[in-house]
Structure 1
């Protein structure tokens, strides 16, 4: 078992951001293009080093990290197993598509945890969007059909094919989209689009989707593309019978079921795969984020039969310049070894349950906390202006909450009213408590000042 830091704490030496961070950010702003990840820009810090669930900036301030690289940092920062694997491998060979010992071991380790019986054929890539784009091409190759179904709130990447499947306003101004995309309601029960209540709703979202496809599709659906639990939408956890109902709908259209496990895979939700909570058996699975232990690594998993589809399966038909290189494979092996040997799936389940219990109490304690949900270390908090109407807090207020967290040494995604919490799978109980204590301090001040008088 790898020794990981325990009981990590905030340690602040300067005001945040500090003077050295400010200077570095100013120098960077002279040349960097806009559009970087929002939390990094808003925090204003420059990182010197990081370990476990703690990040230290160039001014010597140490923060607790509840963002976790938005799922990428599942093993925490600078995990010693990953550091050693990358160091050893880069000194031997790092690029190229030739077979390597590390890639063979990576394939074997993934095959030990199939999301469904027979789903073991793996093609490797370096980004989430790249993997999902490949999965779409695979679905078309196998089914010889051209349409896709995705869901409101869904996020599968920012390249043009997957952008067309995005179920949010993010894509406004970027049209026209790729034709043949159908976007159905997702089972976000806190904000039910039909104003119903589960389970008496009878999964109205699925029934609406069934009618929509009957009237809008050309009966040429290649695949249903779905996150078992939605990340970008706010770590939304659907009822366990939602995915089976969607799977049945896919069968009605003779379409594949494509589970996007970028965020939910590798133990994040307290089970190895997000689909494990519902028992759904996918045909294709896309994976990434935690996969490389912080190194860019993603992939597409499928069956023997589906993987043979042409043109996807012809030489170079599904390859990538960076996919499956020895360095990425070594990082992936180290990450999967740590997840197994260090019991990180169980840790996510246990620490996540304790965090969720403490956070759930916030609903009664704070007038602006409308709902708390989660599975494992995949949690969401709804910040609302009114609990009855569920009107989200304004971005002005949530930005203030984010800033106050950073100022006190906690890195969060509280800048959005659907506030996601997803720390490293290696986080221990006490470090998690230390982080929640900072969040409670900020929420106490927000309550005392009536959200600082902001609107």
Structure 2
């Protein structure tokens, strides 16, 4: 990865947030609607530039970035290959659904690394939720059925169909949801949904889900949609036999199996696809985030037979105004080229393993760290008030942890008790160690002073 920066570290010139950031935020707050990404609002900084795993604000403070745009910045900030591809393409052609050399190459590059044999038909979009909605329409078109199954903790987007399948309380106040949406327990073994222990449970969550569908569905299930590893729930890694069991359950009900690989696809977990860890074979795959190298790009992958389903396959039946435009396609080509040529899947596996080894020691070192988990550069830490009861730390406490990380130059998702760590796939060992050193400093201070009531 000669094209990306190495050994990046924190450099602070002012208090955080600095005066220029504060002034810009005040101007923005006069007009911007509420509801922006929580971490961006809480950090209080205004960005001047960013490169690799470092973000520099308008006050000249440089932060290490362990958020990575929540998966979007998988190639790091301003990857030179993506920058050049976008610059070159925008001068030639940007919009429209006509065939372009960039789109043809993108299709061919995706087809070189299918999540399973035969899943190569790709339709393109600009957001994750848009791709998920298309996948749901495709499943209905193919099966002629009407219901869907998702899982506790799952996140597939905020549009109405995807929102109805969200496995959290985010939906409160937004009902009613789309009828025929069923949500089953996910194998989050640290917080077992059925109060058991793996592997003696025998995947009892699957058995419970089967019973629920038997009595709650109308036996008209079009598809099961599941994240191979759950992102928003806290980067939860299920046992390897869980996802194949989900696939079997889907087919038992005559439904398709949709793998939502928005976060886990393209190397994040140390394999090209999240489903590769378990060997489960999806019928449909939704993809995005790393796919565009930071440019808005998403897609739906499926087989020849399923892609022919009508009305999804009718002219304009599965299209999008921005889908497959030359500019997005060029960005996608550059991103996939970097993932392949820079060895980013291997880098995610190797650097992620080293990070996980350091973070695993936190469980013994800190009374408020209950559990550490991860695959590749997809890691999670459970911050708890009590290790025996697994009671999560309050949001007030985790917000203080987040603030202290930002003040010391580390951008994290530590504002939630299920603390997600997912830096760029381009991050090197030294930069990763520098970031963990800041996190350790914050945790050491919390333990030493009991500053926020941590015990």
Question: TM-score under structure 1 normalisation?
Answer: 0.99
How big is the alpha-carbon RMSD for the aligned residues of Structure 1 and Structure 2?
Answer: 0.8
In structure 2, distance between residues paired with 1:217 and 1:396: 40
In structure 2, distance between residues paired with 1:234 and 1:211: 27
1:2·1:80 contact (CA, 8 Å) conserved in 2? no
| Cα deviations by residue, 1:63-97 (Å, 9 ceiling, x for unpaired) | 00000000000000000000000000000000000
2:239 corresponds in structure 1 to 239
Which SS does the other structure have where 2:177 is aligned? coil
In structure 1, distance between residues paired with 2:18 and 2:77: 22
Please say if 1:62 is aligned against 2:62: yes
Question: How far did residue 451 of structure 1 move?
Answer: 4.0
Which SS does the other structure have where 2:122 is aligned? strand
Which SS does the other structure have where 2:276 is aligned? helix
Question: How far did residue 452 of structure 1 move?
Answer: 2.5
Which SS does the other structure have where 1:452 is aligned? coil
In structure 2, distance between residues paired with 1:222 and 1:36: 33
2:325 corresponds in structure 1 to 325
Question: How far did residue 276 of structure 1 move?
Answer: 0.2
In structure 1, distance between residues paired with 2:452 and 2:261: 39
Please say if 1:365 is aligned against 2:370: no
In structure 2, distance between residues paired with 1:382 and 1:19: 34
2:248 corresponds in structure 1 to 248
| Cα deviations by residue, 1:411-437 (Å, 9 ceiling, x for unpaired) | 000000000000000000000000000
Question: How far did residue 448 of structure 1 move?
Answer: 1.1
Deviation larger for 72-81 or 443-452 = 443-452
Question: Where do residues 101-112 of structure 1 align in structure 2 (5 Å cutoff)?
Answer: 101-112=101-112
Question: How far did residue 450 of structure 1 move?
Answer: 1.5
Question: How far did residue 249 of structure 1 move?
Answer: 0.5
Please say if 1:219 is aligned against 2:204: no
Question: TM-score under structure 2 normalisation?
Answer: 0.99
In structure 1, distance between residues paired with 2:418 and 2:276: 24
1:78 corresponds in structure 2 to 78
2:97 corresponds in structure 1 to 97
Question: Where do residues 156-175 of structure 1 align in structure 2 (5 Å cutoff)?
Answer: 156-175=156-175
1:316 corresponds in structure 2 to 316
2:368·2:454 contact (CA, 8 Å) conserved in 1? no
1:290·1:335 contact (CA, 8 Å) conserved in 2? yes
Question: How far did residue 194 of structure 1 move?
Answer: 1.5
| Cα deviations by residue, 1:268-310 (Å, 9 ceiling, x for unpaired) | 0000000000000000000000000000000000000000000
Deviation larger for 194-203 or 338-347 = 194-203
Which SS does the other structure have where 1:431 is aligned? helix
Gaps of 5+ in 2: none
Question: How far did residue 251 of structure 1 move?
Answer: 1.1
Question: How far did residue 454 of structure 1 move?
Answer: 7.1
2:200 corresponds in structure 1 to 200
1:397·1:451 contact (CA, 8 Å) conserved in 2? no
Question: How far did residue 403 of structure 1 move?
Answer: 0.1
2:6 corresponds in structure 1 to 6
Which SS does the other structure have where 1:453 is aligned? coil
2:443 corresponds in structure 1 to 443
1:292 corresponds in structure 2 to 292
